[in-house]
Structures are given as structure tokens and as C-alpha cells.
Amino acid sequence: MAKSFDEILNELVDMDKPLAAETIYRLSDLSSDDLKTLSTRWGAIDPDRRRTLIERLTEISEANFELDFSALARLAMTDLNDDIREAAIEATWADESVDMATRLIAMASGDIANTVRAAAVSALGNFILLGELGKLDPMVARRAENIALKLYNDEKQDITVRRRALEAIGNSSREGVDDLIAQGYKHKDAHMRTSAVFAMGRSCDNKWEKTVLRELNSTDPEMRFEAVRSAGELELRQAIPYLAKALHDEDREIVEMAIWSLGEIGGHESRRLLEDVMERATSPMTMHLPRLSMTRCKWRIWWAKTSKSSLL
């Protein structure tokens, strides 16, 4: 027999109870009555458990698109705990509604926590992109751009907020954005420079080709990761030899991003490299791909090989 919603809530409050999949799944597609009930008991759940819950449902929703945790995510966005609000923003990744854009604009401009403002303006990058693609009200997209520009240009803001704002505005074709990216790349802060390389990829402008290719050889793993990503977004065929090398990187995330980028670039050589990775990933004798999840690796390779660009 399925558990009642009250039983689900009791399990959430009880720290001795594990966050079982059944419990988390029951929080999808909440009715207005269930959401109201959850709201009254949300504060009774331990803060660390609330944060873990939001992180878990984010992972689950990325693997199962049929689940909808948007109601719970919006509730968590009002939490008094900074870490929980930040995690809640990550959980809204699939919500492309005007209402969500408006909420994020408010949080990016007015939240008291640097980490939350940074997460909010980062999430606004997707809405700026939707505006570029004509899939969002132009006025809403413009407001998102204005907030990102304001935060980036405000030198009193924490550097994390400013760099995420630069990443977000990189999605815009607005005049002057290229200058901001170039400015960010010359910044004294190394993290800001990596964000500038991220923004180069999002700009879809091949004027950044030489810079991205150069940074593929960076000794800084974070910079190398962003360069690998941007090489894919810019579909730089000249980057394929570098990406082939990146497939052997000790950093698992760089390996996975190289797989994605090869799929974006496409072509016979990319396909050959991806097939080689698949063979090594499934071989019981392989000593490569340290710490790399084989299931996740296979999914990324499948996605890359079946993407439109990889068939060219």
C-alpha cells in the first residue's frame, strides 16, 4: 500500500529514516494541498537534510525528465538557509517559465548571500539564451541581461557573483559583450579568466578560437575544463587533437566534457575517438578512465554520437 503524504512528511522529519527513493519520488508533482502541508512542516526538517533532499531530487530529475519537483524547488528558494536557497536554484534547471525568470532576477539583484546571487545570475544565463533564440519574452530577457550587466560592472560585488554574471551575459549578442569578455580574460583573478573562456564558448563567436585553443593546454584544470567546453560550443575542428589528449586526462570531469565536445564538433575523427572511448569503457581489462562512471560515460558517448552534428 502506498504511503500517505503525512507518512512521507514524517519520514522527512525523522533523521533516523534514510531519504529513500520512494520518499523523494512522492515529492514530484505536488498538489496545492500537499504543498501547503509541506510548507507548514518544512522548517521542522533538519537544514542539512533539507539541503541533501534538494541535491538528491536535482540528480534524480536530471535522469528522469518525467518527474517535476518545481513546486518543492520554489519552496526551497524561500528557505532562510543560504545553502538551501543556492541548491534550490540548481534544482530549477528545467524550469524555463517567465515566473522562474522573474524569481531569479529578484534573487540575483537582492539576495543577501553572495553564493545565492551568484547561483541566480548564473541560472539567468539560460533565460538570456532563450531570449536570443526568440523563445522568451524579449522584455524579460532584457531584464535578465540588465541584471547580469549590472552585477558584472559593480566592482563591490563578490568576485564569484561578477564572474557568474559574465558567464551569463556571454549568451547575449548585445553590443559591447565582446569587450566585457576580453576584459574578463585580462582580469587579475584566475577564476574570472576561466569564466571569460566559458563566456567565449557561449558567445558562439569564432573570434575566440585562438584563445580557446591556447587554453586547452593550460596547466590549470579549471581553465582546461572551460576551454574543452568552449571548443565544443564553438565546434572547433582544430581542437580535436587537443580533445583526444583530454580523453586521457586524470580529471574525470574533463574527460566527460571532452566526450561532449567531440560530439558537438562531429566528423569522422570525432566519431572514431568516441568509439575508442566506448571500447575502453566497456573492456574489463581497461586501466584507463580513472573514477569515471561507466554508465555516465556510455550515456554521454551515445548522446554525442547521435547528435545532429556528429553525423556530419
> pLDDT (tens digit, 9 = 90+) per residue, 24-38?
999 999 999 999 999
pLDDT in tens, 136-186: 999 999 999 999 999 999 999 999 999 999 999 999 999 999 999 999 999
8 Cβ contact list (under 8 Å, min separation 6):
23, 26, 27
**pLDDT tens digits, residue range 214-237?**
999 999 999 999 999 999 999 999
CB environment 38-52: b (16+ within 10 A), e (fewer): beeebeebeeeebbe
pLDDT at residue 285 is higher than 80: no
Rounded-to-integer distance, Cα 171 and Cα 162, Å: 15
Question: What single letter denotes the amino acid at residue 75?
Answer: L
- pLDDT bin (cut points 50, 70, 90) of residue 277 is confident
Among 37, 22, 29, 23, residue whose Cα is nearest residue 69:
29
pLDDT at 292 over 50: no
| pLDDT at 298 > cutoff 70 | no
Percent of the chain with pLDDT over 90: 79
Return d(Cα 305, Cα 308) in angstroms, integer. Answer: 8
pLDDT of residue 312: 47
200-219, pLDDT tens digit by residue? 999 999 999 999 999 999 99
Give residue 65's pLDDT band: very low, low, confident or very high (50, 70, 90): confident
Annotation: CATH topology of 207-312: Leucine-rich Repeat Variant (1.25.10)
Q: Print the SS3 string covering the chain.
A: CCCCHHHHHHHHHCCCCCCCHHHHHCCCCCCHHHHHHHHHHHHHCCHHHHHHHHHHHHHHHHHCCCCCCHHHHHHHCCCCCHHHHHHHHHHCCCCCCHHHHHHHHHHHHHCCCHHHHHHHHHHHHHHHHHHHCCCCCHHHHHHHHHHHHHHHHCCCCCHHHHHHHHHHHCCCCCCCHHHHHHHHHCCCCHHHHHHHHHHHHHHCCHHHHHHHHHHCCCCCHHHHHHHHHHHHHCCCHHHHHHHHHHCCCCCHHHHHHHHHHHHHHCCHHHHHHHHHHHHHHHCCCCCCCCCCCHHHHHHHHHHHHHCCHHHC
Given a cut of 50, is residue 310 above it in pLDDT?
A: no
- Whole-model pTM: value is 0.88
For the chain, domain boundaries = 207-312
CB atoms under 10 Å from CB of 179, counted, come to 9
Q: What is the pLDDT of residues 89-147, one digit of tens each?
A: 999 999 999 999 999 999 999 999 999 999 999 999 999 999 999 999 999 999 999 99
Mean pLDDT of the chain: 90
Percentage with pLDDT > 70 across the chain? 89
Please give the average per-residue pLDDT across 302-306, as a whole number. 56
pLDDT of residue 290: 45
Q: pLDDT tens, 240-275? A: 999 999 999 999 899 999 999 998 998 899 989 988
Please state the rounded mean pLDDT for residues 287-294. 47
Supply the pLDDT for residue 123. 98
Query: Residue 190 and residue 185: Cα distance in Å, rounded?
Result: 9
Residue 49 pLDDT more than 70? yes
Cell numbers 579549471 label which residue? 222
